Structure 1
Amino acid sequence: MSPSRARTTTALALLLLATTACTAAEHESTPASHSLTVSRQAKQLRLPLDAYASTVAETHLVEDAQDILMRRCMNGLDMEWKTLPSVDAQDTEPPNLRRYGADEVEAVRYGYHPSPDPPSVIRRNRAWDEREALPAEVQRAAYGPSGKGGCLKTAQRQLVGDTAPPKYHAFNQLTGTALETSRRAPEVRDALRKWHVCMAKASFDYPDPFSAAGSERWKTAEPTATERATARRDVACQKSAKLVTVWAAAETRIQRRLIRQNTDRLHETKARKDRWLAAARRVLNREGG
């Protein structure tokens, strides 16, 4: 069985989607004719703990380098190995998309439903699916009986030697703590109150943006007119309350404190991540040359 693939969301995004009770389904239907479109605010939102996790683009970079080495190993066994198609840079989700609620641009078109995967993401996901359907003999050569051996293990050793992959337990724990702690900050509670009053004026009774996004009413195949109207009001109220700006400032302050308090736990994760990325870039640079 093939190893876990990098999808359009990072570990951080998965954590946050769970927090908001909003599940992002993968879209394998008609490919979108455009790239991923989100607000400028979502693209620019960065938090201190982001440095201690891999973005989707960074995960793809490591996968691509590893894939080149796997192809060499598989070819040495007289087996074909197709490398994964690349994902366009503009097609990867920003790391903090939907962290504080619905995104303005997405809400207009899709309500609280996730936007469809762009074509380059669909192509990569389909390539992963094709790997899962490879003949058993090829799967064993690629991944070994355990799914962690074979040419995959050979490629990883060639890539980074004995450096283990980074573990994101500390990051996941701290980013969740930061989100919940910042939610209780006085300025964030005040912004959430303003958001709630704004929503109530339009007859929407939700305590916070997470409740609005996670409503059972939106578990439909396609976004409804009511869902879009709710989401549009939601993001309008976020803007009037300056919710994202206020919340991000509060969480930035809290994350910096948590980083100072957990330097040792985070340092090893970042060091491993940086070693994997540097090794991957060397492989890709050689291949490009």
Structure 2
Amino acid sequence: MKNLTQRSIGTLALAAALVACSTEGKGSQERHRPEHASIDAKAEHVNRPLDRYFLSPQDVLQIRKAEASLTNRCMRNLHYASHPLPMPRLEHEESNLSEFLIFPVSQAREHGYEVARKASDSDTEWKSRATRTQIALLDGTLRQYKRKTVPKGGCSAFAAQTLMRGTRHQRIQIDGMSITHDASATPDGIFDTVLSAMRYSTAVKSDSDERVKSVTEEWSSCMQKAGFHYASPAEAATDSRWSKGNRPTKLETSVAVADMKCKKEVRYLDTVVEVQSENERNMAAEQSTTLKSLQKDLKVWLSNARKEVNRQPA
């Protein structure tokens, strides 16, 4: 389903863009060391300025419940009732340190860079059991079914457009990137795409910051002392020698452990988060009109979602 898969812009890809910093030209000035970055060590969560604009887990749940209900209703109206979309559950916030290619040393020792290689798709299990006919009804490639006319764009588009009723599609510009969405894009997908694009843009800016370059050089020097030669954390995590299977090699786990220890030693995370947070504050100010517009639309989208959820069971 296009509206489901659009929800993620690729968090680990963003992390790679953030940490793949250039190390050309060693800085001669002493690097500013932040006193404190906004990191909740107990929850293993990094807090950044743009976080406040992402949808809350409760809002996402409300929208996805309505999406599932609308999609299933559309499918029933077409006389296709098998294998309905399941009602989603509340997703609790998890550690986001993997965005910075940081994870516990114990995990590095056991699994190497496994967390950096894996990309999750919460819809994979459901999709694996969906029939071709069902997919065609969802995306609209099948226009007629059992003498019924399939809505334009399919049941996915029907659900999305119902949720979006009362607002209009808009083209959003972010640092040269033009963001548009198709008829099957749902509110949570739009928010995730726009805000992730903003976050990606701030991460790219962080790459050229002298503080990030400097701490990356310090990390690289620390790794060399441990016997490993990498210019950046992304280079270490994506080494082509690492196992693509279930079990990492001894070399991979050794590098991963040294990587985590060196990041802690040079205060890598503090520096990167501090720099990215500065850029995110600037981005929020620059995109204030867009953010206010999205938040205004969200009130309408949530109202539409509540009406659908209260209307009838999926």
TM over 0.5: yes
Pairing of 1:224-235 with structure 2 (within 5 A):
224-235=249-260
Distance 2:206 2:311 in 1: 44
Name the CA shift for 1:10/1:70 in 2 (closer, same or farther; >3 Å). closer
1:13 paired residue number: 11
Residue in structure 2 matching 1:239, options 243, 264, 288: 264
Distance 1:74 1:239 in 2: 52
Deviation at 1:159, TM superposition (A): 2.6
Is 1:192 the counterpart of 2:196? The answer is no
Which TM-score applies when normalising by structure 1?
Answer: 0.72
Which structure would you say has the larger Rg? 2
Structure in which a larger fraction of residues adopt helix: 1
1:198-252 Cα shifts (integer Å, max 9, x gaps): 2111111111211111211125323212111111110111111111122111211
Distance 2:62 2:13 in 1: 22
1:264 paired residue number: 289
SS in 1 for 2:11: helix
**Structure 1, unaligned runs of 5 or more:** 23-38
Distance 1:183 1:274 in 2: 36
Deviation at 1:275, TM superposition (A): 4.2
Letter paired with 2:208? R
Letter paired with 2:140? G
2:115 paired residue number: 114
RMSD, aligned α-carbons: 3.9
Name the CA shift for 1:183/1:41 in 2 (closer, same or farther; >3 Å). farther
Deviation at 1:80, TM superposition (A): 0.5
Letter paired with 2:141? P
1:77 paired residue number: 78
2:204 paired residue number: 180
Name the CA shift for 1:97/1:40 in 2 (closer, same or farther; >3 Å). same
1:87-109 Cα shifts (integer Å, max 9, x gaps): 6735x755x44333232264233
SS in 2 for 1:114: helix
Deviation at 1:253, TM superposition (A): 1.3
Is 1:155 the counterpart of 2:153? The answer is no
Contact in 1 for aligned 2:57/2:90 (Cα 8 Å):
no
1:67 paired residue number: 68
Name the CA shift for 1:41/1:78 in 2 (closer, same or farther; >3 Å). same
Which TM-score applies when normalising by structure 2?
Answer: 0.67
Is 1:46 the counterpart of 2:44? The answer is no
Give the total of aligned pairs: 263
Letter paired with 1:127? W
Structure in which a larger fraction of residues adopt strand: 2
Distance 1:283 1:251 in 2: 39
2:101 paired residue number: 101
Contact in 2 for aligned 1:11/1:172 (Cα 8 Å):
yes
Letter paired with 1:240? E
Is 1:221 the counterpart of 2:217? The answer is no
Question: For structure 1, which segment, 218-227 or 139-148, has the greater mean C-alpha deviation from structure 2 after superposition?
Answer: 139-148
Q: Percent identity at matched positions?
A: 22
1:5-48 Cα shifts (integer Å, max 9, x gaps): 349x83150541553799xxxxxxxxxxxxxxxx9577421222
Letter paired with 2:165? G
Deviation at 1:127, TM superposition (A): 0.8
**Structure 2, unaligned runs of 5 or more:** 21-39, 143-150, 170-185
